[in-house]
Amino acid sequence: MGNVHTQNEIASVAHSDAHQIFSIVSPMDEIFTHLLALTGCVTRRFVRFIEDLVARDVNKFPTDSRNDLLVDTTSDVETVYSYQVSSPIFQGLMLPLYSLQFVQKLALCTLRHSFMCFQRVELRLYSTMCRIRKTLLGSSADIGWLQGTPGMPPVVDGTARFLELLSEIRNGEHKLPNSFVYLLVPGLFSNHGPLYFVGTKKFFSKMGLTCHIAKIHSEACVEHNAWELKEYVEELYWGSGKRVMLLGHSKGGVDAAAALSIYCNELKDKVAGLALVQSPYGGTPLASDILREGQVADKEMRRIMELLICKIIKGDIRALEDLTYEKRKEFITNHKLPENIPTLSFHSEARVAPGVLATMTHIAHAELPWLSLPRTWTESDTVVQGGRSLPVVIPLSAVMALCALHLQLRYGEKSDGLVTCRDAEVPGSVVVRPNQKLDHALMVYSSRNSENASDPDGCEMCEAILTLLVELEMRRKEAK
């Protein structure tokens, strides 16, 4: 009985303890339940708040672009506005993302800038290499372009007949008729060389021939001189009633050819023939190498030439530009020489022996307009008529020899010092290739070198050229 009583007591005690424990646990469950509910509510409210902020920003976009965003815009935005909390909180929440975006943009900008710098360096290096290559190549692809152009008429070699006529002239047989007016057209910078063609004119005048030196501005462009020559030829023709034989030296031959090409209808019955003596009809590498665009120091070289030609010599830079290969190709393509006028082209080769480099030229006077003579000098003291001049000594033969040597070493071309032999041959003309070594200046200065008295001088050469040109005109008439 005692044991039963004891077990009942223990059971009652355990029941009372359990009731107390359950009474304690029940409030804790309620607390945890409320906490979980509150947390879920806060979480939902926070998610709703973020969605509403995003929705408000999405509403600022246009309708078309808004459809592309995967954002639920059906949220209650009015609740967000009631909180009076918007952009600062959202921007604060998005600050890490903004930082990442800024770092990304900074990295991309740096890479882009570095890439652009590398590109600029690469382009500059490429441009420099192209300039160096263009400078080294020079006119190697342009020299003799007339011979390689399809459709150009072939030339006829008249050297043998020229040498026969020259030999007869040296023996005193002069065949030039007085039925023509002989017009000598000087070349570039001839206005500053007062002896230019003077000896040839006197030589012809002593034979009773009507000979004139064209008074043109030699430093003017080709088209300007072509117009002046056209006016000059018409004046001579109407004044004398005789047709005109043109002999142009250097750029003078280019000017005369341009006059016949541009004003063919006006001059075809007034001009009997055209002789181009050492003329860069196809162009000259010296002019192209100086003024070629895209080569090393091209702008600096052009400024130097403009200062020299335009400021000091008072000329036109186009006079030199018109002798470049680019300009000559353009002109010849657009203006053809008339076929009914006989044309003769003469070219020669300069000496390049070492002894020539120390040889002084025959030119002993040059006209320097920017200098004035002393007041103690009188006009009789000036050797050259027509303008004030200063006696100087110019080693022109040595300069021509150096230029000819330069063209021979660089391009492998024979030249008279300024014009290569291939560029002086006019398509469809009778070509004279003398075996005598003549530089570019010897043909227009008639003083005879005592050491080479047996060689013909420039006057006799010009007479032989014009005599051959007259024969060509007579053959043309007979062929009709």
pLDDT tens, position by position, 284-298: 999 999 998 888 888
pLDDT band at 7 (very low <50, low <70, confident <90, very high): very low
| pLDDT classification of 352: cutoffs 50, 70, 90 | confident
Q: Which two tokens stand for residue 338?
A: 């008339």
Mean pLDDT throughout 192-216? Answer: 87
**Helix/strand/coil for 358:** helix
Chain-centroid distance of CA 318 in Å reads: 13
Rounded Cα gap, residues 160 and 171, in angstroms: 17
**Per-residue pLDDT at 474:** 92
CA 299 to chain centre: 10
Average pLDDT over residues 157-173: 93
Asked if residues 451 and 178 have their Cβ atoms less than 8 Å apart, the reply is no
Q: Please determine, for residue 462, whether its predicted confidence score (pLDDT) is greater than 80.
A: yes
Residue 155 burial (CB count, 10 A): 17
On whether the CB atoms of residues 401 and 407 are closer than 8 A, the answer is no
Q: What token pair was written down for 70?
A: 């995967």
What residue type is 121 in one-letter code? V
Find the range with the poorest average confidence among 182-186, 266-270, 354-358: 354-358
Going from the C-alpha of 149 to that of each of 41, 142, 217, 369, the distances in angstroms are: 93, 11, 32, 43
Question: Which residues have a Cβ under 8 Å from the Cβ of 70 and sit 6 or more positions away?
Answer: none
Minimum mean pLDDT among 30-34, 221-225, 476-480: which range? 30-34
CA atoms within 13 A on the CB side of 324: 17
Return the pLDDT at 55.
65
Let me know if 264 is exposed, middle or buried by CB neighbors in 10 A (0-12, 13-18, 19+). Answer: middle
Mean pLDDT to the nearest integer, 229-245: 94
A 10 A CB-CB count for 466 gives: 25
pLDDT value at residue 115: 82
pLDDT category of residue 252 using cuts at 50, 70 and 90: very high
List, in order, residues 6 or more apart from 111 with CB less than 8 Å away.
none
- How far out from the chain centre does Cα 444 lie? 32
116-132 confidence digits (pLDDT tens): 888 888 888 888 899 89
Q: Please give the residue that has the higher pLDDT: either 110 or 181.
A: 181
Q: 3-state class of 312 per DSSP?
A: helix
Assessment of whether the complete model's pTM goes beyond 0.75: no
Cβ neighbours of residue 459 closer than 8 Å, sequence gap 6 or more: 199, 200, 203, 204, 446
The separation between the first and the last C-alpha atoms of the chain, rounded to the nearest angstrom, is: 172
| β-strand partners of 275 | 247, 344
Q: Which of 116-120, 212-216, 271-275 has the lowest mean pLDDT?
A: 116-120
Confidence class for position 212, pLDDT limits 50, 70, 90: very high
pLDDT of the residue at 278: 94
